[in-house]
Structure 1
Amino acid sequence: MTSRRKLIVVLIDGLSADYFNLHRHRLPYLDGLVARGTQVRRLTSPTPATSMPGRTSMITGRPSQEHGVFGNHVFDGETFRCATPDDVVAPTILARAQAGGLKAASVGFAMADPKDADLYQPPWWLRSFMDNSRFAKALDPSSLARLYATHGHSEPLEHKQSLGDEASDLPQEAESQLMLGLASDQLVVGAAAELACSDEPPDLILTEIAMTDQIQHRFGFASPEAHWSLGTADMLIGHLMHRLREAGRDSDYAVAITSDHGHSTIDTAINPSAILSGMQFQSEGATLHVAVENKAEEKDVAQRLRAVGAESIGSMHVPPKLRGRVVAFAAPPRHSFEEAASEEDRAPLRKPRYVSSHGLRPGAPADDRFCVFTGSGIGEAQIERADAEAFASTLASVLALPVAKGDHEPLF
């Protein structure tokens, strides 16, 4: 009897379609996979094109107004708070795999619900993200211990528990955190590879490479540092594919590699605190969500933001129950929204801390993402453009899961 095809999904945070199309010579492993697989040259992003909506669209195949995660932060009726898997109201590919009798694993993939995975490791950066900033992916002293505090039993992962013993000695300087983040990404991808090559390989593995986004925010799109970090991610993909070949698992697994959003150069930061003093708001890169009480207040906010070139993009990407309470605005080109570093900073415009960002105007090409499917049973093809929601339905198709109501047409 022929065994069922398995699937590994790898997210490379912030790898844009533009970057790959311009610099694919710097990414030899991904370039080789594109030559042997099915590439979507431009996979669109949800609105706004930020991390949590992007990840959630990947695993649900639904737009943000349906899956519930309309930003890195969501509005709970009183304040904006970090989105969590509890906010996802659409079935994920993990839950669908389990319902179909498959074994599913999430290794450091944000927005995966532990209850939907037979094996689960939290993202190493998640605590700093929730406690600090939407762009902060930093290693706190207990993160390595948490990273390997697995849900479910997996011998290939458990021998790494000792790595957490040295977590309290980790340096906290910003430069060290960048290096430690890349090291954590290496550990995460290595753990996913070990699972795939173990005696009991899961049918579905979700994992991610996270520091590529943080480094682009800090140093810039297509900067030397960005080239280095994305080249490192490319090598991690090469390592994963090598491990599958060496273990004879390359004929078992299809591999899907994509991103959650793109990236684009930012010259100017808009300080919403100076413009909307006393109001509830949350920046999402070049998108700003604002909580309003009524149409008059919405009109007032739009007028204030228009003075710095920002335009309303409505609220159709927000769940219906919040429309009229949360409205969104897009910054002008090469601008983003950034909260001031201190309350004393009242300048409406200033030099950005994050010199590359995303969450641009809906449909902006710079937010389009890289995407390729390769491996077991995947043919060679080029697809010029596809909607974000088609990615999850293609994952379901690769795993031979039943079609669900609302599924988009698979890519192949």
Structure 2
Amino acid sequence: MRTTARKAIVILIDGLSADYFEQHRANLPHLCALASQGLHVQRLRSPVPATSMPGRVSMITGEPSQRHGVFGNHVFDGQSFRCAMPSDIVVPTIAQRARATGLNVASVGYAMVRPEHTDFYYPAWWLRSFMQHSRFAKALNESVVSHLLSSRHSFEEMGVPGGEPEEAASRTADRSLELMRGAACDQRIVRMIAALACSDSPPDLILGEIALPDHIQHLYGFESEAAHWSLSTADLLVGFLLHRLELAGRREDYVVAVTSDHGHSPISTAIYPDVVLGAALWQSEGATLHVAVRDSLHRREVERRLLEVGAEPMDGSHIPAGIRDCIATFAAPDRHSFEQSPNDHDGLTPSGPPAAISSHGLRPGAPADDRFCVFAGPSVIQSEVPDEAAEWFCPTLARMLGLPGGSQEESLA
């Protein structure tokens, strides 16, 4: 019999590293307060590679990349690298498990959850462009953005109180306005989460995401003023959610978990695999590179070329066993990443200035890829844990929800 004593809200802040929190916690007062009140994992390690989709999926499955099937933002289908999708996850997710036991599940802007495993589903505001094979960056999904920013319609769909009507932002190529629209979407996502949690029928599990900080850091840099702004804004959104729960008398109903999918680190040089490898099929995962290889001879030739630019072979243990022989994996040197060469490139120089001046997916175990993580709420005992593996998050959340697989107190002491 299920013994649920708690509900849970999970907020993923994309790109919030353990290092950033420790160095700038004074600028993150709401996260700092949660860390002082709850179970704070100082360094939640990332799966390999430390990129967005593996990081999210490790959180909701409790499995490493080679087991859950999402070994990068892009996976190999035998012919090409394509964007990872929820259908690529080959093990049960926390949403699927929770709903199977009768819990009510909502996914609000959290990528890599199947709609059919939820009672309420709203897509990530950047999801369509990413899923349509945007190889190197997330981008605004115009239909979702317009829906989020135009009216109270999102709230009316839920049957819960909403906010004031807003005019949809006009389409524009201007980067500053696009980023402002992304911030507005993050705000509306958190407002939707708060509205659900404070409604007459609050879900047992809500999964949500604050997406913009990762994009900001890629563009403007780790510890840039823009990064400080985006992460401080994310902290304010967490504070807003907590305040709404307090006002509604729901704060004691929910464990609030805040974490990230990966860290971030400054990048000074981009290696161009299209120049180094010619016609080879490859996919960048930040500072990790996947290359499709035909056989052992081809693998050796790829290794030779990449060693010449300082990249080192990885053992590939994060690749699912069935395709491991088809993929060669490499780690970039310190402060390097892998990118497509720019359009005006001479086609000869193997490296140059990076488009993303901060990135992740570093060599396995790199501290800069470690992420922030905290659980706070009713019956969560205040404690500091130096580090945990990525796979720790899901079973801990499951025990707090009372799902089968262990006593709730195991993860709270």
TM-score under structure 1 normalisation? Answer: 0.94
Q: 1:190 to 1:129 in 2, by over 3 A?
A: same
Q: 1:273 to 1:284 in 2, by over 3 A?
A: same
Is residue 156 from structure 1 mapped to residue 133 from structure 2 by the alignment?
no
SS state of the match for residue 257, structure 2? strand
Report if the CA contact (8 A) 1:42-1:384 is conserved. Answer: yes
**After superposition, where does 1:401-412 map in structure 2 within 5 Å?**
401-403=403-405, 410=411, 412=413
Q: 1:345 to 1:85 in 2, by over 3 A?
A: farther
- Letter of the 2:211 partner, please give it: A
Distance 2:58 2:412 in 1: 15
Q: 1:376 to 1:345 in 2, by over 3 A?
A: farther
Kindly state the Cα deviation for residue 12 of structure 1 after the two structures are TM-superposed. Answer: 0.3
**After superposition, where does 1:262-411 map in structure 2 within 5 Å?**
262-342=263-343, 344-346=345-347, 347-403=349-405, 410=411
Q: 1:198 to 1:71 in 2, by over 3 A?
A: same
SS state of the match for residue 244, structure 2? helix
Kindly state the Cα deviation for residue 144 of structure 1 after the two structures are TM-superposed. Answer: 2.5
**After superposition, where does 1:177-196 map in structure 2 within 5 Å?**
177-196=178-197
Question: Partner of 1:31 in structure 2?
Answer: 32
Distance 1:289 1:230 in 2: 30
SS state of the match for residue 278, structure 1? coil
SS state of the match for residue 401, structure 1? coil
SS state of the match for residue 207, structure 2? strand
CA RMSD of aligned residues (A): 2.1
- Letter of the 1:383 partner, please give it: V
**After superposition, where does 1:84-233 map in structure 2 within 5 Å?**
84-131=85-132, 133-145=134-146, 154-156=158-160, 166=168, 169-233=170-234
Report if the CA contact (8 A) 2:83-2:133 is conserved. Answer: no
Distance 1:345 1:212 in 2: 33
- Letter of the 1:401 partner, please give it: L
Report if the CA contact (8 A) 1:156-1:191 is conserved. Answer: no
SS state of the match for residue 66, structure 1? helix
Q: 1:45 to 1:278 in 2, by over 3 A?
A: same
SS state of the match for residue 198, structure 1? coil
Distance 1:267 1:399 in 2: 43
- Letter of the 2:139 partner, please give it: A
Q: Give per-residue Cα distances to partners, 1:59-87, cap 9 Å, x unaligned.
A: 00000000000000000000000000010
Kindly state the Cα deviation for residue 140 of structure 1 after the two structures are TM-superposed. Answer: 4.0
Kindly state the Cα deviation for residue 99 of structure 1 after the two structures are TM-superposed. Answer: 1.0
Kindly state the Cα deviation for residue 379 of structure 1 after the two structures are TM-superposed. Answer: 1.2
- Letter of the 2:129 partner, please give it: S
Report if the CA contact (8 A) 1:145-1:161 is conserved. Answer: no
Distance 1:273 1:3 in 2: 52
Report if the CA contact (8 A) 2:274-2:341 is conserved. Answer: yes
Q: 1:41 to 1:3 in 2, by over 3 A?
A: closer
Report if the CA contact (8 A) 1:103-1:204 is conserved. Answer: yes
Report if the CA contact (8 A) 1:50-1:71 is conserved. Answer: yes
Q: 1:203 to 1:294 in 2, by over 3 A?
A: same
Kindly state the Cα deviation for residue 145 of structure 1 after the two structures are TM-superposed. Answer: 4.5
Q: Give per-residue Cα distances to partners, 1:258-303, cap 9 Å, x unaligned.
A: 0000000000000000011111100000000000011111111011
SS state of the match for residue 362, structure 2? coil
- Letter of the 1:342 partner, please give it: N
Distance 2:279 2:156 in 1: 45
What is the total number of aligned residue pairs between the two structures?
404
SS state of the match for residue 160, structure 2? helix
- Letter of the 2:159 partner, please give it: E
Q: 1:327 to 1:103 in 2, by over 3 A?
A: same
Unaligned residue ranges in structure 2 (runs of 5+): none
Kindly state the Cα deviation for residue 3 of structure 1 after the two structures are TM-superposed. Answer: 7.3
Distance 2:240 2:369 in 1: 27
Kindly state the Cα deviation for residue 391 of structure 1 after the two structures are TM-superposed. Answer: 0.2
SS state of the match for residue 251, structure 1? helix
Q: 1:277 to 1:3 in 2, by over 3 A?
A: closer
Distance 2:86 2:201 in 1: 27
Kindly state the Cα deviation for residue 153 of structure 1 after the two structures are TM-superposed. Answer: 5.8
Distance 2:101 2:4 in 1: 15
Identical amino acids, percent of aligned pairs: 55
Distance 1:411 1:317 in 2: 30
Question: Partner of 1:256 in structure 2?
Answer: 257
Q: 1:119 to 1:140 in 2, by over 3 A?
A: closer
Distance 1:161 1:65 in 2: 45
Distance 1:135 1:51 in 2: 12
Kindly state the Cα deviation for residue 170 of structure 1 after the two structures are TM-superposed. Answer: 3.2
Q: 1:411 to 1:378 in 2, by over 3 A?
A: closer
Report if the CA contact (8 A) 1:42-1:385 is conserved. Answer: yes
Question: Partner of 1:246 in structure 2?
Answer: 247
Kindly state the Cα deviation for residue 141 of structure 1 after the two structures are TM-superposed. Answer: 3.1
Q: 1:288 to 1:341 in 2, by over 3 A?
A: same
Q: 1:320 to 1:146 in 2, by over 3 A?
A: farther
SS state of the match for residue 217, structure 2? helix
- Letter of the 2:331 partner, please give it: A
Report if the CA contact (8 A) 1:266-1:354 is conserved. Answer: yes
